[in-house]
Chains A and B, each alone.
Chain A
Amino acid sequence: MSMANIEKVKEWQETMYDIDSGIQSAAPTVREGDGEYTTKHYTMTTTVTSGADPDMETYALTRKQRVQAALFPETLEEGATILSTQTDPSQMTNVQRLAEPSQMLKMAIIHLINYQDDAELATRAVPELTKLLNDEDQTVVCKAAQIVNQLTRKEAARRALMQSPQMVAAVVRAMQNTSDMETAKATASILHNLSHQREGLLSIFKSGGIPALVRMLSSPMESVLFYAITTLHNLLLHQEGAKMAVRLADGLQRMVPLLKKSNPKFLAITTDCLQLLSYGNQESKLIILANGGPEALVHIMRNNNYEKLLWTTSRVLKVLSVCPSNKPAIVEAGGMQALGMHLSGSSQRLQQNCMWTLRNLSDAATKQEGMDGLLQILVGLLSSDDVNMLTCATGILSNLTCNNAHNKSLVTQNNGVEALIHAILRAGEKADVTEPAVCALRHLTSRHQQAEVAQNAVRRHYGIPAIVKLLNQPYYWPVIKAVVGLIRNLALCPENQAPLRDAGAPPRLTNLLLKAHQDAQKHGSSNQQTYQDGVRMEEIVEGCTGALHILARDPVNRAEIANLQTIPLFVQLLYSPVDNVKRVAAGALCELALDKPSAEIIDSEGASAPLMELLHSNNEGIATYAAAVLFRISEDKNSDYKKRVSVELTHSLFKHDPAAWEMAHNSVPMDGPYPDELDAGFTGYGVYGGDNPMDGMDGNMMQEDFPSSMNYDRQMYSDPY
């Protein structure tokens, strides 16, 4: 008990009991007469005599003292003792029995008195102080504010203040109207103190405190800024309706510029406010963007070490990173590199937030420069056992290697292939990891200088069996699609052809192709698209055919693919409305046609007609493949057929060389030799001269040296010019 309270008590007891001081503490617990045991602890009564023998008069006098000692042991003078009347150690005296509960009661009363004092004081003073806060004289207002600020430091007074709407309103009004620094500081401090209780928050909210506090965010005084932002933070955290009110008061527009301050703790609160305001609120995110939020936040990430600040800032960036407008701005401001600075530290929560944010941003960062460091760290993180970390690392790498030759080469050179394979092996069936990991490998194995290195690395690190196994059931189509594309790239490397065959790629791809094609056909018209797990079956058809096309470059694989009865399907795919499908189907047939038996099958399946059409394709790849297949299947054909093909071929090939066509057209007569034999698409221009050099084709068409290609005997063409 404090000295002041002791004094108070002393005063009280002297008026109540008329007892002088010097009393002892109470007696220990003893079993009472009726057999009940009390469980309370009691201090031991020392019954020490003052030296003289007790007598009855003394006994009567000290009763009061004994009561006093029991109730107010702290007032006992040092060394003073009171005689106890306990005669039987097993029996407590009445005073002893009452000691403990009396003690407790006394403490309660004392506390109440203090509280009562503060509360009473506050209650009596509140109307007065309110009046003073509303005074016209600014000096009066200032003084009143300072007094109220003092009062808010004590709990009882604080309660009284927050229960007065007039008082809180007066404080708010004084704060926003004053031009005096001290008044501003005192009133802001009052609201800050009130904001630690729910009732206080509500009173501030109801009194229009939020717009006033937002206005104080423009104050030049650091202390006012601190009080204002902290109070707003408490409101945003705990007061319903505060977020809306802050937004309506243009709070975001005032807060974002504060990000330029240097105090890390202040910044931590400010960024947390921004996170609270912008989470799930698109408009808020756009306001932050419009006020230079991304640049300021990235700057904080780059230039601070205070973990809590980095964490709160990363949370704001994470919220903004799902906004399509903020994403490019964050990336342009160097957000990827800045977030990448915090992936190796000890704070797991910071690391995790940075990773999720990077993943969200990654599809907007494919053209960013200066990402080498980040890419290297990400390759390192692929060895993590944390599935969240793996999910993010593979996803980010997949996007950053997308259409970026520099990044592809860098990742390849930093053992990215090996790391990705191991990640795939560890991930098992977790598609969130395998899909992006396979996509990343697919990116690494094509369209950059180190593509061949990557293709070989997959084989060297025993990746081929694991990758082909991903084609097994149960089918998760996004993974299938990625794997099929990767296999196609791997097959570009001749050394991979045998391992791919050994792993069973050709039959698996053929089965998938059949299934996807059937599913796509089931839905009737070609305009309808069949989606499974978000993947169109037409994409699977294209992917599988493309992979089989490249696998067919290997003679052994070519024979196996032909034996899987794929030719009829490839011929059917020549009729696909999708150019990419036409191209890969024609490409596959082009390879298969290298083998005579397959060339015959291709021809017997009626491939000539669609191939003739494809000669006119605007797609050079399609036209080239179609021409090559026609060359190869027409080796044993009769001359009429060959003529027709040659005419079509020459006509269509001139399409890509208009100058040569023009020259050819002008240099020969217009009469076409076989108008009735010509294809409907043919315009009828005769390419060959009036001497009808085509007559010379019979039997002499194919020179000995070129059995599988169409060729003209040079002698056929007597030059008419």
Chain B
Amino acid sequence: MNREEAPGKSPEDMYIQQKVRVLLMLKKMGSNLTPNEEAFLRNYAGVVHSQMSQLPQHNIDQGAEDVVMAFSRSETEDRRQ
């Protein structure tokens, strides 16, 4: 029975919901899943569907941010011609 949309979810449902979320986020971050984990997601496709829209839109793990290099630390004179 699909109980994801019903109010007052059971602990089991909530747990599944959260686990689906973890696995989806792992995938979003580019990580591998085990075959069993992939099967889990297939099993709870409905939950997957509802969770997808609730995942954070921003990229979660993109590595270190770009940082500028500060070149203008000192003044150098050039030869006057």
Q: Contact check, A322 vs B11: say whether CB atoms are below 8 A apart.
A: no
- Decide yes or no: A621 and B40 within 8 Å by CB, A436-B69, A716-B12 being known contacts: no
Chain B contacts for A380, CB-based, 8 A:
none
Against A, the Cβ 8 Å flags (1 = close, 0 = not) of B54-79 are: 10100111111111111111111110
Q: Tell me if B9 counts as interface (CB < 8 A to partner A).
A: yes
Q: Contact check, A488 vs B63: say whether CB atoms are below 8 A apart.
A: yes
Q: Contact check, B37 vs A663: say whether CB atoms are below 8 A apart.
A: no
Q: Tell me if B2 counts as interface (CB < 8 A to partner A).
A: no
Q: Contact check, A663 vs B62: say whether CB atoms are below 8 A apart.
A: no
Tell me the complex Cα distance, A625–B22, Å: 8
At the interface with chain B, which of A190-198, A219-227, A398-406, A522-530? A398-406
Q: Tell me if B53 counts as interface (CB < 8 A to partner A).
A: no
Tell me the complex Cα distance, A624–B31, Å: 11
Q: Contact check, A492 vs B36: say whether CB atoms are below 8 A apart.
A: no
Q: Tell me if A349 counts as interface (CB < 8 A to partner B).
A: yes
Tell me the complex Cα distance, A315–B79, Å: 11
Against A, the Cβ 8 Å flags (1 = close, 0 = not) of B10-38 are: 11101111110111011001111010110
Q: Contact check, B31 vs A542: say whether CB atoms are below 8 A apart.
A: no
Q: Contact check, B37 vs A709: say whether CB atoms are below 8 A apart.
A: yes
Q: Contact check, B60 vs A620: say whether CB atoms are below 8 A apart.
A: yes
Q: Contact check, A546 vs B63: say whether CB atoms are below 8 A apart.
A: yes
Find B31's partner among A319, A363, A591 (CB 8 Å cutoff): A591
Q: Tell me if A705 counts as interface (CB < 8 A to partner B).
A: yes
Chain B contacts for A621, CB-based, 8 A:
29, 60-61
Q: Contact check, A553 vs B8: say whether CB atoms are below 8 A apart.
A: no
Closest to B55 in A: A620
Q: Tell me if A689 counts as interface (CB < 8 A to partner B).
A: yes
Chain A contacts for B17, CB-based, 8 A:
660
Find A632's partner among B15, B34, B63 (CB 8 Å cutoff): B34
Q: Contact check, A717 vs B61: say whether CB atoms are below 8 A apart.
A: no
Q: Contact check, A714 vs B61: say whether CB atoms are below 8 A apart.
A: no
- Name the interface residues of A419-477: CB closer than 8 Å to any CB of B: 435-436, 439, 442-443, 446-447
Q: Contact check, B15 vs A402: say whether CB atoms are below 8 A apart.
A: no
Q: Contact check, A628 vs B31: say whether CB atoms are below 8 A apart.
A: yes
Q: Contact check, A712 vs B61: say whether CB atoms are below 8 A apart.
A: no
Q: Tell me if A37 counts as interface (CB < 8 A to partner B).
A: no
Tell me the complex Cα distance, A499–B60, Å: 27
Chain A contacts for B70, CB-based, 8 A:
363
Chain A contacts for B25, CB-based, 8 A:
620, 624
Distance in angstroms from B25 CB to nearest chain A CB is 5
Q: Contact check, B72 vs A627: say whether CB atoms are below 8 A apart.
A: no
Q: Tell me if B39 counts as interface (CB < 8 A to partner A).
A: yes
Q: Tell me if A361 counts as interface (CB < 8 A to partner B).
A: yes
Tell me the complex Cα distance, A324–B39, Å: 57
Tell me the complex Cα distance, A492–B7, Å: 41
- Decide yes or no: A668 and B11 within 8 Å by CB, A439-B69, A542-B64, A709-B40 being known contacts: yes
Q: Contact check, B11 vs A624: say whether CB atoms are below 8 A apart.
A: no
Q: Contact check, A359 vs B26: say whether CB atoms are below 8 A apart.
A: no
- Decide yes or no: A650 and B29 within 8 Å by CB, A687-B11, A706-B36 being known contacts: no
Tell me the complex Cα distance, A489–B39, Å: 29
Distance in angstroms from B36 CB to nearest chain A CB is 5
Closest to B13 in A: A717
- Decide yes or no: A446 and B40 within 8 Å by CB, A399-B68, A620-B25, A717-B12 being known contacts: no
Tell me the complex Cα distance, A627–B23, Å: 9
Q: Contact check, A709 vs B64: say whether CB atoms are below 8 A apart.
A: no
Q: Contact check, A403 vs B66: say whether CB atoms are below 8 A apart.
A: yes
- Decide yes or no: A654 and B75 within 8 Å by CB, A546-B64, A688-B11 being known contacts: no
Closest to A713 in B: B12
Find B39's partner among A321, A625, A706 (CB 8 Å cutoff): A706
Chain A contacts for B67, CB-based, 8 A:
402
Tell me the complex Cα distance, A251–B23, Å: 69
Chain B contacts for A707, CB-based, 8 A:
36
Q: Contact check, A319 vs B39: say whether CB atoms are below 8 A apart.
A: no
Find B56's partner among A318, A620, A716 (CB 8 Å cutoff): A620
Distance in angstroms from B16 CB to nearest chain A CB is 8
- Name the interface residues of A239-270: CB closer than 8 Å to any CB of B: none
Find B66's partner among A279, A443, A653 (CB 8 Å cutoff): A443
Closest to A391 in B: B71
Against B, the Cβ 8 Å flags (1 = close, 0 = not) of A355-366 are: 010011111001
Q: Tell me if A711 counts as interface (CB < 8 A to partner B).
A: yes
Find B78's partner among A322, A353, A714, A719 (CB 8 Å cutoff): A353
Chain B contacts for A436, CB-based, 8 A:
69
Q: Contact check, B71 vs A359: say whether CB atoms are below 8 A apart.
A: yes
Against B, the Cβ 8 Å flags (1 = close, 0 = not) of A72-116 are: 000000000000000000000000000000000000000000000
Chain A contacts for B65, CB-based, 8 A:
403
Q: Contact check, B15 vs A712: say whether CB atoms are below 8 A apart.
A: yes
Q: Tell me if A146 counts as interface (CB < 8 A to partner B).
A: no
Tell me the complex Cα distance, A431–B39, Å: 50
Distance in angstroms from B65 CB to nearest chain A CB is 7
Q: Contact check, B12 vs A279: say whether CB atoms are below 8 A apart.
A: no
- Among B9, B11, B32, B39, the one with the most A-chain Cβ atoms within 10 Å of its Cβ is B11
Chain A contacts for B59, CB-based, 8 A:
447
Closest to A275 in B: B80
Tell me the complex Cα distance, A466–B62, Å: 24
Q: Contact check, A447 vs B29: say whether CB atoms are below 8 A apart.
A: no
Tell me the complex Cα distance, A226–B18, Å: 79
- Among A591, A594, A628, A712, the one with the most B-chain Cβ atoms within 10 Å of its Cβ is A628
- Among B68, B71, B74, the one with the most A-chain Cβ atoms within 10 Å of its Cβ is B71
Tell me the complex Cα distance, A319–B72, Å: 10
Q: Contact check, B22 vs A363: say whether CB atoms are below 8 A apart.
A: no
Q: Contact check, B21 vs A653: say whether CB atoms are below 8 A apart.
A: yes
- Decide yes or no: A664 and B9 within 8 Å by CB, A587-B31, A591-B31 being known contacts: yes
Closest to A361 in B: B72
Q: Tell me if A413 counts as interface (CB < 8 A to partner B).
A: no
Chain A contacts for B14, CB-based, 8 A:
650, 654, 660, 664, 687
Chain A contacts for B40, CB-based, 8 A:
705-706, 709, 711
- Among B14, B26, B32, the one with the most A-chain Cβ atoms within 10 Å of its Cβ is B14
Q: Contact check, B18 vs A362: say whether CB atoms are below 8 A apart.
A: no
Q: Tell me if A684 counts as interface (CB < 8 A to partner B).
A: no
Q: List 25 A-B contacts (CB under 8 A).
A: A279-B75, A322-B72, A322-B73, A356-B76, A401-B66, A402-B68, A447-B62, A485-B63, A488-B63, A489-B63, A542-B64, A543-B64, A546-B63, A587-B29, A590-B26, A591-B32, A649-B15, A649-B18, A650-B18, A653-B22, A657-B54, A705-B40, A706-B39, A708-B34, A709-B19
Q: What 3 pairs between A and B have smallest CB-CB spacing? A: A360-B72, A653-B18, A363-B68
Known: A322-B74, A447-B62. 7 other contacts (CB 8 A): A280-B75, A359-B72, A366-B68, A488-B63, A591-B31, A653-B22, A714-B12
